[in-house]
């Protein structure tokens, strides 16, 4: 039942005694790790982009793309799937020492990405999503929840995409799979996998959350439209895998934009702006439409691909992950799912960061570095606010007071 995806596992209306709870469920450590890494990492990248740091300090000019996908986004996905997977299956997902092991593996993979030991980085970054896939599969299999097995396959795909990236960095760019799939397409492929996960889950939960959060709202899902929307993302994966950039791919992206625009229209986003916990998810979908439109123009060669990529990463992925990190944390810690000034400020900062990162370089290309630096500050501020507000909630739990 979709109404149970984020149902709290335990509820205790009156709690007083605090206890350590960091390793009880996947969302707790991985949301904190994702937010911390994001808040520290993006400003570091902005300093490198502004030439404050010598580029020689970072061996790989694509390091920020890799780390935002396999560091930040993957951590959020693992935390989300371990939490939702327990509710889907009714079976335990990794917790305690097994969760500690996976978190340490993730942390070691982040450190290895900054070393010259490419094989070590490859093995660690391959292991994180595969170990997570095993932990999720065990719960789904034990609970006979075959409906969500595809999430396991997508985690396996994330590991393969990371391997492709590392092999490319080792100088194997000319090596290719059958039908000409280049190893250097590892990062775009991983980004498409993240997009697919986001598109599936938003279709499942955004209409429900919108209807629950806005009295009188009638957000709906059309089964045929849902299939078309997910099918269009799969089509984009094929296009990106083979680096197709022509009129046909531009047309496909344009059609995908129309399909997802129709899907969004059925969710009645114009009625949700008064509730920030709903608006952040509805507003995130706006960036998917911007991404698809800009991708269509980029495929024709009339503009660079950077703005489209950042509409996807900073706009869609950034906002939907922050929105789900707040909602999950509040719901599973027994707090009301309501936005304080902290959530409103974080959501607004992230939306502004995406707007600056996408539209200023489009209008004034000469301000690329300045706009990236400003967007990085706003991005970091959003996740610093998250850490300040949610670290106590995620690290500790409130237990019922004994008589």
Task: Give the total number of structural domains in the chain.
Answer: 2
Cα separations in angstroms, 282 against 35, 37, 271, 302: 21, 25, 10, 29
Q: Which residues of 222-233 are buried (b: 16+ CB within 10 A; e: fewer)?
A: eeebbebbbebb
Range(s) of the domain holding residue 96: 17-170
Alpha-helical runs (H) found in 178-310? 186-213, 223-241, 247-266, 276-299, 306-310
Task: Note the pLDDT tens digit of each residue in 76-119.
Answer: 999 999 999 999 999 999 999 999 999 999 999 999 988 888 89
Taking the C-alpha atoms of residue 365 and residue 360, their distance in angstroms, rounded to an integer, is: 7
| Owner of token pair 């509040």 | 330
Global pTM reads 0.90
Task: Note the pLDDT tens digit of each residue in 315-353.
Answer: 999 999 999 999 999 999 889 999 999 999 999 999 999
Does 152 have pLDDT greater than 60? Answer: yes
Task: Note the pLDDT tens digit of each residue in 204-216.
Answer: 999 999 999 999 9
Task: Note the pLDDT tens digit of each residue in 181-193.
Answer: 455 677 888 999 9
Give the lowest-confidence range in 5-14, 25-34, 146-155, 392-401.
5-14
Q: Which two tokens stand for residue 236?
A: 């984009």
- 237 and 378, same domain (yes or no): yes
**DSSP symbol at 57:** G
Q: Compute the radius of gyration of the chain from its Cα atoms.
A: 20
Give the lowest-confidence range in 225-229, 358-362, 366-370.
366-370
Does 44 have pLDDT greater than 90? Answer: no
- State the chain's mean pLDDT as an integer: 87
- 155 and 288, same domain (yes or no): no
**DSSP symbol at 92:** P
| Domain final position from 170, 203, 218 | 170
| Domain final position from 149, 170, 191 | 170
Q: How many residues does the chain have?
A: 403
Q: Give the confidence band of 400 by pLDDT, cuts at 50, 70, 90.
A: very low
- 80 and 24, same domain (yes or no): yes
- 255 and 388, same domain (yes or no): yes
- 233 and 143, same domain (yes or no): no
- Output the pLDDT for position 82: 97
Does 126 have pLDDT greater than 50? Answer: yes
- 204 and 138, same domain (yes or no): no
| 40-45 long-range contacts, CB within 8 A, separation 24+ | 40/380, 41/67, 41/68, 41/71, 41/72, 42/68, 42/376, 42/379, 42/380, 43/376, 43/377, 43/380, 45/376
- Decide if 401 is inside a domain: no
- Output the pLDDT for position 104: 97
Of 311, 283, 284, 308, which is closest to residue 296 (Cα–Cα)?
A: 308
| Domain final position from 150, 170, 190 | 170
Taking the C-alpha atoms of residue 329 and residue 334, their distance in angstroms, rounded to an integer, is: 9
């Amino acid at each position: 039942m979709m109404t149970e995806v984020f149902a709290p596992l335990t509820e205790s209306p009156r709690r007083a005694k605090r206890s350590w709870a960091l390793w009880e469920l996947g969302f707790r450590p991985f949301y904190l790790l994702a937010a911390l890494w994001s808040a520290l990492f993006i400003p570091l990248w902005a300093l490198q982009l502004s030439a404050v740091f010598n580029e020689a300090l970072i061996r790989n000019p694509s390091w920020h793309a890799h780390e935002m996908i396999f560091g930040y986004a993957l951590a959020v996905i693992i935390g989300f799937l371990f939490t939702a997977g327990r509710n889907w299956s009714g079976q335990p997902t990794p917790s305690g020492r097994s969760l500690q092991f996976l978190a340490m593996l993730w942390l070691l993979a982040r450190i290895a990405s900054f070393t010259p030991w490419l094989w070590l980085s490859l093995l660690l970054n391959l292991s994180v999503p595969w170990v997570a896939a095993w932990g999720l599969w065990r719960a789904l299999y034990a609970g006979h929840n075959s409906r969500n097995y595809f999430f396991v396959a997508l985690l396996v795909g994330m590991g393969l995409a990371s391997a492709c990236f590392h092999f490319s960095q080792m100088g194997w760019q000319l090596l290719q799979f059958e039908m000409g799939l280049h190893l250097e397409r590892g990062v775009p492929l991983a980004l498409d996998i993240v997009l697919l996960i986001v598109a599936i889950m938003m279709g499942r939960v955004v209409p429900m959350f919108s209807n629950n959060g806005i009295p009188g709202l009638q957000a709906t899902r059309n089964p045929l439209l849902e299939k078309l929307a997910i099918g269009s993302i799969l089509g984009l994966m094929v296009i990106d895998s083979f680096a197709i950039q022509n009129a046909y791919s531009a047309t496909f992206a344009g059609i995908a934009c129309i399909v997802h625009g129709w899907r969004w229209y059925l969710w009645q986003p114009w009625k949700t702006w008064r509730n920030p916990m709903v608006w952040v998810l509805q507003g995130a979908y706006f960036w998917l439409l911007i991404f698809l439109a800009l991708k269509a123009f980029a495929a024709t060669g009339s503009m660079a691909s950077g703005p489209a990529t950042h509409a996807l990463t900073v706009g869609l992925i950034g906002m939907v992950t922050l929105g789900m990190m707040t909602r999950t944390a509040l719901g599973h810690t027994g707090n009301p799912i309501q936005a304080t000034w902290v959530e409103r400020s974080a959501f607004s900062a992230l939306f502004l960061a995406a707007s600056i990162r996408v539209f200023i370089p489009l209008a004034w290309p000469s301000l690329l570095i300045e706009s990236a630096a400003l967007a990085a500050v706003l991005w970091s501020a959003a996740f610093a606010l998250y850490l300040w507000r949610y670290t106590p909630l995620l690290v500790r739990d409130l237990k019922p007071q004994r008589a």
